[in-house]
Structure 1
């Protein structure tokens, strides 16, 4: 079974979910056939365009949607379309058939009857249902069909939500399940979770319980919608959409449907009453206030007096929409400055006000519920946590949260407050085990209930987590830690606000490289935060510029440049493993590393022009150098340089690692994209070892960078002025863009010349410093520091 190869996938059903699943498979490099019903009224037509109108329109709507379901636009070329009438016969040439039609058992069974006619024996068939028992769909099918059939539940949107629940039936070949768990993780970048064929599977069962339990607390504690969303968002490591906003996004009718499904189909659920739909929720469904899909739900967007958009919140008592309020709770205000989530959770649960009461009820109810769901929905605690993090965007899982608050202490308080627990929790504590997870020798272990012992999480070697090596810390300062990751490889991570790069981080990079050179194979730079890094610490730059400390500012920029060059010219390989936001200085670090192992979801770019500066940590120099290396002798009008210039001048950020290839930030055939974010650190470590073992020698600083001088400068200036005349650039945009052009052309040289990297770095630093003295640049920086967005001045 391990030698099964998936080259072509057929997706049956092109609705919101089906079209996006097709896009995700195409993004993973597969050929995809997307089928749906014959377009209405096209039965007599012989034109494929008319017969396939339904599926083609659905695919185009998906491709135009925001956020985009594809890594790059050309991914769509791998998707062909058709209809069930004409093209079901084509599935015989496909390795995996995924059904994503309407949630009705009779319709799904009709589709599977057709699939059975044309599929080759051994072909995988899976259903993406979220509500129908998987085993019911397998009934009446052939032995081979049953053996190769199971549920594969993707979450929407499939590109961004990492959960893939795999649900076997009693007939499914275990080898098929093992294959899908591995394939989904490695090739599709998913957190694959083995789930049982129980209503709502794992994530929706726990997630919808969580939302319904909060609805219960709304009534019990007289809390408003705005108060609940302030209490249940990022402050506790949950998404910004918190509770009620999430319900609006998902669709209130969908939420009600899942809740009713659990209440009807889980008679032995001790919290069945929590799934009862409150009267106000029924009223919203009756009013067709279903959230974003109908334009209003718990929130409604309206035009303010000045024409600007304002968000109004539903008052559940009066059923009127009121202007949004910003609630304040003493417990929350005290906890906000605490950066570390685990420390913050402890503070929130001990609060002595209404918020503290809410957090205790909220967590005790959740802990009670998850204890009773094992072994009903899963045999293993880690699968529950994986599902909630990957499907609902929780920063840490429910059992991990329980560990944070102390299992024994929480159990005592829960019992005092009248919450029940599954017997296995008391048995675990009685056995001497005091936590659900622990770390030993860089590996994370979980408590295995049947054997009452700790077992290593599967795939541990492929999923390195920096924090698991804390007891192998080689060096640290207040922002950075350097770990020994085993096999003679060091790893550096830092934790600052938005993981920004300031003096301490630069010290950490320099020190880690020096340590690696003293007897290790190399260095991995990565972290497990929500984002790799938002770039250089602009607050520090702003303070030095406002106080006109230009000597200090000059020193700071020199240090940044020297550190990036240290990453490039070191005696050992330096591999960076970025993910999510990788902006400005973090992009410059990636540009100067020996190799980048980027998560597929990496949003990387040089964004300094947005704040009225140019990349000053070697980014401008590096783009000029790469342009020089890409130029052809007979190249007209320095097109390569112009393209590189525009990427920086428009502050373009790649919306995926694949797009970073197109922007010339990542190098094709050199840098690597890792589909599963959780695997990128292990891949980076592997790369360090491979580069070192193949005989790594320290590169020599370049003195042969071709710059075009005045001839190219004139062309770029003309382009900048054209943008200004057309109203696309402000006066200050012109000032900044001309400084950028000056550096990238090597200055006002009378002819083409060969220059050193240091020459370009000096030009870059001078331009950066001069822009720090510009009032409008400082206004832009201040605007970012205050409100997160630069002003257009």
Structure 2
């Protein structure tokens, strides 16, 4: 069979999902044709703008929405808009046609009939439906259409929610399924999950069951909305939106529609009654209290007496809104300080208060349900976990949670409490298999009920999960673990609050490089969890500064700088695998590495100005060095330096890894974006090997950096004064910005001069130290430590 290449994609339907799916495909560099209906009033018009009004308005609304569906501002340039009447013929030039029109079988089938007139044979045709059986959609179509037809269910918003469910029909060619699973993973950055053509597929079937079961528990245990959302959020590895807030975001009508769909179409589901809509939920739909889109649902924004916004919560008994109440549970308070999610789960499910009772009911019901869904909705255990993690933002899958709590012990407790488990789970335990997952040789294996053996997870050869290498630890300290990840490459990760970088982590980086230089080809630095790192440990800086231990602080900054320079000047390659927040010191580590393999969703930047400091771990020095290298005769030498100065002075953070290149943090032609978060460590490992094998030579420290001196410093000072007078910056902002300008110009030099890296590092460290002595800087740091945001003083 010919190799399938996707160059151009057509998206039919420009509603909330269609426009955002189009943006995601354009974001990975493809040409996209986005089509929708001609407005009724423009049917007779020849004005292209009027005929394309629906599609153009929808695309503009998507582009302006928050969070943004595009990686960079130029992405929409790759989207061509049109309408079904004039432009459907243009799908003949497309390699993949994705249908995202209204959820009505007759509408979709009528569109497919027209599509078949213009689609070239062999072109992929898929539907994003979430509520119509996939096999019904392709009825009556040609053999070639049916062979290349499949369900591709994206989750909203498609840029950020990583799940893509692939749902074949009996007629779908296996090569199409294999292609979509691979393409979705590698190019679209998705967790691609093979699902069966059952109502609500995998994620919505399990996710909506979980929500409906919680609704029942609310009535049974007499819990409030505020209590449930406190119990079902980050404390158990779920998103901040927890349960009721999630329903408001998704739309209460959408939730009811999915629940009703399962109730109506799954007569043999042993938990069918759970999907019955409670009377109070029906009442919300009748009142049009559908959540965010209606302005009120389980929560409602109101204006307080002083004009400030306040969020009120619905009382499910009275259906009246009242101010939010902060719930108090002893078990939750005890679990909160524990950093390890698995340990937290054990504590919460074993607790003897009302919260513990809720957690037991919730987990036992969930475990019972997922066990009975195999093989109905999936043949494989891991696909259910993958779907929930990628589609609903769960940090830990349902079967993984069951493993954490102990399968055998939990099954006994479930039976005693009146919950059933599927026979295959009992068979698994009877055969001496005590868990759904196990790790061997750095690879995760999963129990397969059909063969009653453990198998490797499909496609997992492309993924490296560092914590799977517990039997390959080369070195560790209280915060860091260094693993041998095979092929003569080491992998370092650390686990601190927000993965911040303190003394232990700096020691870990230095030690890892030292060990890599001895016996290995190089080092990968990566982290698991939501974020790579929120930067340096500002709490530690604050404590030392408050105590006025200036020598100790000077040593701490030197240690940070020396560690970054050690990463830059090592005899083996150091590659950083970024993802999520990668701020301050984490950004400085990237700036000094041989290469960065960044997940597409990486938010990187030098943010120290926000807390009244300048980048002190070599970040300021590195921006001067890069500005010096970028200066050329065709433009005034000062422009590159001023641009770099503004990036730091305004604490700019890239809104995607692609934007990291625009900010000059990532290097074009060297650093790379990895679309799939799960592949970044493997790509970093491959990069280490490639760089080493191509004859890596340790770079030499630079002594030829052009520092612009007094002239440019004067113009930067003038700009800072202008910003302060116009009220764009506070007096303290100006104090910090002037220190930054002084360092970036190389100090008070009478003319442009070539200086060394160490010269700039010394200036940077002195400026950082002096700012730590400023009261207003300490106030900013304190406000970040207390409330997460710097005070504007």
Could you say whether these structures have the same fold, taking a TM-score greater than 0.5 normalized by the shorter chain as the test?
A: yes
Count of residues in correspondence between the two structures: 793
Q: Does 2:547 correspond to 1:552?
A: no
1:141 match? 141
Q: Does 2:390 correspond to 1:390?
A: yes
1:102-141 pair list within 5 angstroms: 102-141=102-141
Whole-angstrom CA distance in 2 between matches of 1:724 and 1:632: 31
The answer to whether the Cα contact below 8 Å between 2:195 and 2:201 also exists between their aligned partners in 1 is yes
Alpha-carbon displacement from aligned partner over 1:746-780 (angstroms, at most 9, x marks no partner): 00100010000000000000000000000000000
2:306 match? 306
Q: Does 2:778 correspond to 1:778?
A: yes
1:491 match? 491
Alpha-carbon displacement from aligned partner over 1:358-413 (angstroms, at most 9, x marks no partner): 00000000000000000000000000000000000000100000000000000000
Whole-angstrom CA distance in 2 between matches of 1:620 and 1:632: 21
Whole-angstrom CA distance in 2 between matches of 1:290 and 1:263: 20
1:641-656 pair list within 5 angstroms: 641-656=641-656
TM-score normalised by structure 2 residue count: 1.00
1:427 match? 427
What is the Cα-based RMSD across aligned positions, in Å?
0.6
The answer to whether the Cα contact below 8 Å between 1:2 and 1:179 also exists between their aligned partners in 2 is no
1:751 match? 751
Q: Does 2:351 correspond to 1:366?
A: no
The answer to whether the Cα contact below 8 Å between 1:150 and 1:168 also exists between their aligned partners in 2 is yes
2:183 match? 183
2:477 match? 477
Whole-angstrom CA distance in 1 between matches of 2:48 and 2:464: 49
2:596 match? 596
1:18 match? 18
Q: Does 2:446 correspond to 1:446?
A: yes
In structure 1, stretches of 5+ residues that fail to align are none
How much does 1:44 deviate? 2.1
Whole-angstrom CA distance in 2 between matches of 1:633 and 1:742: 24
Whole-angstrom CA distance in 2 between matches of 1:367 and 1:111: 41
User: The residue matched to 2:362 in structure 1 has which SS?
Assistant: helix
The answer to whether the Cα contact below 8 Å between 1:637 and 1:712 also exists between their aligned partners in 2 is no
User: The residue matched to 2:91 in structure 1 has which SS?
Assistant: helix
How much does 1:48 deviate? 1.2
The answer to whether the Cα contact below 8 Å between 1:584 and 1:606 also exists between their aligned partners in 2 is yes
User: The residue matched to 1:533 in structure 2 has which SS?
Assistant: coil
Alpha-carbon displacement from aligned partner over 1:699-726 (angstroms, at most 9, x marks no partner): 0000000010001101111111111111
Whole-angstrom CA distance in 2 between matches of 1:675 and 1:48: 36
Alpha-carbon displacement from aligned partner over 1:625-649 (angstroms, at most 9, x marks no partner): 0000001135326010000000000
Whole-angstrom CA distance in 1 between matches of 2:146 and 2:586: 50
1:41 match? 41
How much does 1:519 deviate? 1.1
1:171 match? 171
Whole-angstrom CA distance in 2 between matches of 1:111 and 1:649: 53
In structure 2, stretches of 5+ residues that fail to align are none
Whole-angstrom CA distance in 2 between matches of 1:697 and 1:460: 33
User: The residue matched to 2:519 in structure 1 has which SS?
Assistant: coil
Q: Does 2:595 correspond to 1:577?
A: no
The answer to whether the Cα contact below 8 Å between 1:126 and 1:149 also exists between their aligned partners in 2 is yes
Whole-angstrom CA distance in 1 between matches of 2:205 and 2:214: 14
Whole-angstrom CA distance in 1 between matches of 2:465 and 2:300: 41
TM-score normalised by structure 1 residue count: 1.00
How much does 1:50 deviate? 1.3
Tell which deviates more after alignment, 165-174 or 303-312: 303-312
How much does 1:41 deviate? 1.1
1:270-281 pair list within 5 angstroms: 270-281=270-281
Whole-angstrom CA distance in 2 between matches of 1:190 and 1:507: 35
User: The residue matched to 1:518 in structure 2 has which SS?
Assistant: helix
2:290 match? 290
How much does 1:2 deviate? 6.8
1:700-739 pair list within 5 angstroms: 700-739=700-739
The answer to whether the Cα contact below 8 Å between 2:130 and 2:153 also exists between their aligned partners in 1 is yes
How much does 1:789 deviate? 0.3
1:257 match? 257
User: The residue matched to 1:403 in structure 2 has which SS?
Assistant: helix
Whole-angstrom CA distance in 2 between matches of 1:40 and 1:620: 58
The answer to whether the Cα contact below 8 Å between 2:706 and 2:754 also exists between their aligned partners in 1 is yes
1:315-464 pair list within 5 angstroms: 315-464=315-464
User: The residue matched to 1:73 in structure 2 has which SS?
Assistant: coil
Alpha-carbon displacement from aligned partner over 1:547-596 (angstroms, at most 9, x marks no partner): 10100000000000000000000010000001000000000000000000
1:566 match? 566
1:193 match? 193
